[in-house]
């Protein structure tokens, strides 16, 4: 009988030299109970959390702070008060811009891409979350995207692509149905209906891949290339399922419990919470090193009836955020989610510290500071220092002359990339950036 180690080695061989021996949990899975071997670096990870309808700076900048300085003696505003105990890990940035992304209702792919975006406009390049996922230590699923919305939208559109991309015209889908996502990540260890659905879907996907590959050989060469991409998509899904099943014993420790929120949610926030728990489990188990969360899924919709908020969708963007009890509730809900991520990562030992010591969380909006914005101010909060690479416990006020691309270049730098610009040509930089290289104000 083949044992677990032989199975892992077989999967590593089947998936090619890119994975090799690193597929073994102690090397590939960041939260392995085994210490890293000689020559292995500490795994790192990054989380992007984007709230739609804008991020008004008055909801995050402490009263009286008009210039850069320490947060030690400052009191955080009510909307982000949940972060008060974590001020030493917080860096608030005000004064970046994204005018070149033309956000208006949303910059869509441009928010993380740092380029012109728009409703229905395909991505023109890879986004920063994907680029970072390719530079961090390899994991089974390098990049996971989850999207939170109204129950109607999450049910009707369980996947949607508006924020992340792996290249020009190559969007990455967000998962919005926690039942489907649980099947994908933990179906191999599930029981009951989820296990039966997982097995049925695995069989169907395998059959589709085989049939599609056979049928594609009869197509003309030009159509065959496009068809091969379609077949590759099924192959990637099936390979991921196999790899996850192969490390099921490891994943069992991290899989969240399945309860009535999955099958009988009272409010959309029940599903939001389930999605967050699955995202956290993917990080702590080491399935992924990059998590992107889209609250509102990068569009102009979204609902939070579970917080006692009846208003939803586009109308929320026409409300002033500072002092607004509705937006205070939404932002507080967001920051409690950020705290849940930090607490979960802090609970897992890693190296000489915890997983959170080697993690960075980036919180902002896909729509700069407000609805109907020109993108002249794009506030951002950073949590964590990414193994000491990011300054924390401070507020940075910029002059509005550096784009969000400069921050993204800084993130590439701390991930080991020496790039001086991210998705910005010299011609574009002459108009929208008054410096070259990363945003030095955030780097240690």
Domains located in the chain, CATH noted: 43-180+255-442 (3.40.720)
- Which of 182, 427, 405 is closest to 281 using CA atoms? 182
* Cα-based distances in Å from 294 to 48, 50, 81, 109, 300: 8, 5, 21, 12, 11
* Cα-based distances in Å from 318 to 5, 144, 314, 370: 56, 31, 7, 9
Can you give the pLDDT at residue 40? 42
Q: What is the pLDDT of residues 327-362, one digit of tens each?
A: 999 999 999 999 999 999 999 999 999 999 999 999
Q: How does strand 353-354 pair with strand 349-350? A: antiparallel
Q: Angle at CA 81, nearest 5°, toward 370 and 383?
A: 75
* Six-digit token string for 367: 């729509």
Can you give the pLDDT at residue 244? 84
* 43-47, 105-109, 116-120, 198-202: segment of lowest average pLDDT: 198-202
Output the furthest CA–CA distance in the chain (Å, rounded).
70
Whole-number Å distance between alpha carbons of 362 and 292: 9
154 SS3 class? helix
Whole-number Å distance between alpha carbons of 194 and 269: 21
* 28-37, 56-65, 248-257, 392-401: segment of lowest average pLDDT: 28-37
Rounded to an integer, the average pLDDT of 175-196 is: 78
217 SS3 class? coil
Q: Higher confidence at residue 14 or residue 73?
A: 73
Can you give the pLDDT at residue 183? 87
Whole-number Å distance between alpha carbons of 26 and 46: 20
- Which of 305, 283, 307 is closest to 293 using CA atoms? 283
* 22-36, 42-56, 81-95, 174-188: segment of lowest average pLDDT: 22-36
Return phi, psi of residue 191, to 5°.
-130, 175
Average pLDDT value over all residues in the chain? 85
Whole-number Å distance between alpha carbons of 259 and 235: 31
Give just the sign of the alpha carbon dihedral 293, 295, 297, 299: negative
Q: Angle at CA 236, nearest 5°, toward 233 and 238?
A: 110
Task: Kindly give, in sequence order, each residue whose CB lies less than 8 Å from that of residue 398, ignoring residues fewer than 6 positions away.
Answer: 93, 94, 95, 96, 441
């Amino acid at each position: 009988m083949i044992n677990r180690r032989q199975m892992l080695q077989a999967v590593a061989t089947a998936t090619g030299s890119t994975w090799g021996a690193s597929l073994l949990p102690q090397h590939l899975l960041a939260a392995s109970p085994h210490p890293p071997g000689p020559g292995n670096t500490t795994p790192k990870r990054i989380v992007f959390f984007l709230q739609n309808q804008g991020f008004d700076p008055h909801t995050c900048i402490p009263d009286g702070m008009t210039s850069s300085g320490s947060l030690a003696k400052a009191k955080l505003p009510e909307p982000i008060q949940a972060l008060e105990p974590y001020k030493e890990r917080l860096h608030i940035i005000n004064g970046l811009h994204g005018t070149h992304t033309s956000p208006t209702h949303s910059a869509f792919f441009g928010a993380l891409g740092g380029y012109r975006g728009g409703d229905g406009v395909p991505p023109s390049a890879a986004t920063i979350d994907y680029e970072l996922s390719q530079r961090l230590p390899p994991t089974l699923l390098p990049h996971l995207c989850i999207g939170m919305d109204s129950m109607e939208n999450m049910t009707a559109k369980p996947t949607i692509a508006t924020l992340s991309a792996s290249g020009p015209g190559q969007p990455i889908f967000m998962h919005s149905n926690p039942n489907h996502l649980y099947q994908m990540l933990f179906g191999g260890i599930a029981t009951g209906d989820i296990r039966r659905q997982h097995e049925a879907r695995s069989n169907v996907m395998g059959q589709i891949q085989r049939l599609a590959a056979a049928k594609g050989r009869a197509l003309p060469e030009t159509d065959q290339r496009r068809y091969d991409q379609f077949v590759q998509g099924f192959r990637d899904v099936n390979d991921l399922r196999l790899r996850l099943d192969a490390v099921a014993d490891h994943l069992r420790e991290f899989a969240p419990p399945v309860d009535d929120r999955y099958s009988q949610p009272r409010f959309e926030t029940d599903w939001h919470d389930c999605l967050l728990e699955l995202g956290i489990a993917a990080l702590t188990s080491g399935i992924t090193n990059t998590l992107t969360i889209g609250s509102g899924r990068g569009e102009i919709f979204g609902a939070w009836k579970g917080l006692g908020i009846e208003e939803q969708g586009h109308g929320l963007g026409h409300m002033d955020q500072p002092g607004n009890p509705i937006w205070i509730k939404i932002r507080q809900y967001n920051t409690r989610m950020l705290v849940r991520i930090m607490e979960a990562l802090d609970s897992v030992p890693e190296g000489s510290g915890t997983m959170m010591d080697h993690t960075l969380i980036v919180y902002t909006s896909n729509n700069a500071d407000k609805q109907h914005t020109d993108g002249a101010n794009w506030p951002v909060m950073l949590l964590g220092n990414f193994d000491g690479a990011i300054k924390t416990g401070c507020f940075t006020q910029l002059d509005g002359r550096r784009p969000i691309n400069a921050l993204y270049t800084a993130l590439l730098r701390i991930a080991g990339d020496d790039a001086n610009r991210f998705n910005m040509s010299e011609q574009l930089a002459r108009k929208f950036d008054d410096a070259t290289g990363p945003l030095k104000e955030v780097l240690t």
